[in-house]
Protein backbone atom coordinates (compact mmCIF):
# COMPACT_ATOMS: atom_id res chain seq x y z
CA UNK A 1 0.00 0.00 0.00
CA UNK A 2 1.26 3.48 -0.88
CA UNK A 3 0.24 6.75 0.74
CA UNK A 4 1.29 10.33 0.09
CA UNK A 5 1.74 12.89 2.86
CA UNK A 6 2.26 16.65 2.80
CA UNK A 7 5.53 17.65 4.43
CA UNK A 8 7.21 20.84 5.55
CA UNK A 9 10.98 20.99 5.14
CA UNK A 10 13.38 23.89 4.52
CA UNK A 11 15.86 22.59 1.94
CA UNK A 12 16.51 19.81 -0.56
CA UNK A 13 19.32 18.36 1.54
CA UNK A 14 16.97 18.11 4.53
CA UNK A 15 14.40 16.40 2.29
CA UNK A 16 17.03 13.80 1.35
CA UNK A 17 17.76 13.18 5.04
CA UNK A 18 14.03 12.69 5.66
CA UNK A 19 13.81 10.22 2.77
CA UNK A 20 16.75 8.19 4.11
CA UNK A 21 15.29 8.17 7.63
CA UNK A 22 11.89 7.02 6.31
CA UNK A 23 13.45 4.20 4.26
CA UNK A 24 15.23 2.89 7.39
CA UNK A 25 12.01 2.73 9.43
CA UNK A 26 10.59 -0.71 10.20
CA UNK A 27 7.45 -1.38 8.16
CA UNK A 28 8.47 0.87 5.26
CA UNK A 29 9.15 -0.89 1.96
CA UNK A 30 10.16 2.30 0.12
CA UNK A 31 9.91 6.07 0.51
CA UNK A 32 10.33 9.03 -1.80
CA UNK A 33 10.45 12.71 -0.82
CA UNK A 34 9.84 15.37 -3.45
CA UNK A 35 11.18 18.71 -2.20
CA UNK A 36 9.60 20.69 -5.06
CA UNK A 37 6.06 19.53 -4.26
CA UNK A 38 6.70 19.08 -0.49
CA UNK A 39 5.29 15.55 -0.54
CA UNK A 40 6.44 12.22 0.82
CA UNK A 41 5.23 8.98 -0.73
CA UNK A 42 5.60 5.93 1.47
CA UNK A 43 5.10 2.32 0.42
CA UNK A 44 4.36 0.09 3.40
CA UNK A 45 5.33 -3.54 3.86
CA UNK A 46 2.51 -6.09 3.66
CA UNK A 47 0.29 -6.18 6.75
CA UNK A 48 1.68 -3.01 8.36
CA UNK A 49 -0.59 -0.36 9.88
CA UNK A 50 0.15 2.90 8.04
CA UNK A 51 -0.73 5.11 11.02
CA UNK A 52 1.57 3.29 13.42
CA UNK A 53 4.45 3.13 10.94
CA UNK A 54 4.11 6.83 10.09
CA UNK A 55 4.42 7.77 13.76
CA UNK A 56 7.81 6.02 13.73
CA UNK A 57 8.74 7.66 10.40
CA UNK A 58 8.01 11.07 11.92
CA UNK A 59 10.14 10.27 15.00
CA UNK A 60 13.04 9.12 12.81
CA UNK A 61 12.78 12.18 10.56
CA UNK A 62 12.79 14.49 13.59
CA UNK A 63 16.07 12.88 14.70
CA UNK A 64 17.84 13.96 11.49
CA UNK A 65 15.90 17.20 10.84
CA UNK A 66 14.22 18.49 13.99
CA UNK A 67 12.21 21.27 12.31
CA UNK A 68 10.61 19.07 9.64
CA UNK A 69 6.93 18.15 9.70
CA UNK A 70 4.83 15.38 8.19
CA UNK A 71 1.08 16.05 8.13
CA UNK A 72 -0.47 12.71 9.02
Q: What angle do CA 42, 25, 57 make, to 5 degrees?
A: 65
pTM of the model: 0.94
Longest dimension (CA), the chain: 33
What is the rounded distance in angstroms from the CA atom of residue 47 to the CA atom of residue 19?
22
Q: Which domain holds residue 59?
A: 2-71
Residue 51 pLDDT: 96
The CATH number covering residue 46 comes to 3.30.70.100
Q: What is the count of structural domains for the chain?
A: 1
Note the residue count of the chain.
72
Tens digit of pLDDT at every position of the chain (72 positions): 999 999 999 999 999 999 999 999 999 999 999 999 999 999 999 999 999 999 999 999 999 999 999 999
Amino acid sequence: MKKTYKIDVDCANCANKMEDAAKKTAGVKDALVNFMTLKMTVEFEEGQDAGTVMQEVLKNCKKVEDDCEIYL
